[in-house]
Amino acid sequence: MSLVPQERIYLSPPHMSGDEIVKINEAFASNWIAPLGPHVEAFERETAELTGIRAAAALSSGTAALHLAAELLGVGAGDLVLCSSFTFAASVAPFFHKGAECAFVDSEPESWNMSPQALERALAETSAQGRPPKAVILVDLYGQSCDMDPLLELCRHYRVPVVEDSAEAMGSLYKGRRSGSFGTFGVFSYNGNKIVTTSGGGMLLSDDAEAIERARFLATQARDPAPWYQHTVLGWNYRLSNVLAAIGRGQMLHLDERVAARRRIFGRYAETLGTIEGVRFMPEPSWSRSNRWLTALTLEEPLRVPPLAVLEHLASWNIEGRPLWKPMHLQPVFEDARYWPHEEGRDVCAELFSRGLCLPSGSGMTEAQQDRVIAAVLEALRTVPARC
């Protein structure tokens, strides 16, 4: 191996096309350097059109979008919300901060997303206790949709509104329909590591155009229509800047290419590493077309290599990988939270967490860079000592 330090390969770095800077220059030329302006409106309209949803509000982050969803659903102190355990903390943090009891539902092995059979038990049990959830938060993890039909059917039956956290799933499909369009509210994130980025930002989507109008109002300090600053309620400063919306619009022009690139990267990993006994990639059920935001895999028998040791080995090659999301029900902050596993004695997302990792998956990664990642993984599987 060469002693010259090689350039770092990141997990999921931003990938600019050149169209972003053109649109930023438009924003500068028009002097709309503000949390509103023509790019914000156009970004909202284009995102709503793309997802087939009536209305969208561009916000400063995906977390802000989740917060406003919690607000608009009237989630408050003492309410119960159910969320996929296998996710990033931001899916649930805004609900937690509203004082809700957060309880968690396991994944199914087929999609790694919320298990319909576990949700069914959770809804039956909490309803029988006279305390059905105020909202169910479904997460499309690593860019893969949940199995929406059975999950939405259950939520309809128990009359519980759904928030679809599609922060990682822009450009993904469920039975041909766009991720982000399934809940009462849908959420995208444009954080720097997501498939479409504005450096930081988010979008709240809904067919309820009035709710989205209300979201914009709350996100702009809740100013009443009066000549002076008047407030019947208090809001937040959550709007996306016109400059950042310009980046987002430039990025969106290339969404399909970015999805194709990430799927191609996944395909090459699957071809080269998938033949090793014990390497198992995140499955893609027939109803799903994942954007493959991150290539995620688990190391199973007969491989006995701890994922963290593989990640350390990648780091020694100057390659950034990551463990899978640590489930919420295993987080210290939620140690007392209620949890419904996929089936009795079978905690699917805890198993995935203990065995899994994510490989660099940026849409701008070259084949040569990916070859280096593959070589580093192969070397790790050959040389890292097995756990006992």
For ligand PLP, the binding residues (CB under 6 A) are 61-63, 87-88, 90-91, 139, 165, 167-168, 189, 191, 202
Question: Least distance (Å) from ligand PLP to the CB of residue 97?
Answer: 13
β-pair partners for 234: none
Question: Least distance (Å) from ligand PLP to the CB of residue 195?
Answer: 11
Nearest CB to ligand PLP, comparing residues 115 and 197: 197
**d(C-alpha 173, C-alpha 377), whole Å:** 30
Question: Least distance (Å) from ligand PLP to the CB of residue 65?
Answer: 8
User: Around Cβ 184, how many Cβ atoms within 10 Å?
Assistant: 19
Nearest CB to ligand PLP, comparing residues 53 and 167: 167
**d(C-alpha 386, C-alpha 266), whole Å:** 26
Nearest CB to ligand PLP, comparing residues 111 and 189: 189
Nearest CB to ligand PLP, comparing residues 215 and 279: 215
Question: Least distance (Å) from ligand PLP to the CB of residue 168?
Answer: 5
Question: Least distance (Å) from ligand PLP to the CB of residue 334?
Answer: 16
Contact 153, 124 (CB under 8 A): no
Nearest CB to ligand PLP, comparing residues 169 and 273: 169
Position closest to ligand PLP via CB: 62
Question: Least distance (Å) from ligand PLP to the CB of residue 174?
Answer: 16
Nearest CB to ligand PLP, comparing residues 148 and 279: 148
Question: Least distance (Å) from ligand PLP to the CB of residue 92?
Answer: 9
Nearest CB to ligand PLP, comparing residues 190 and 317: 190
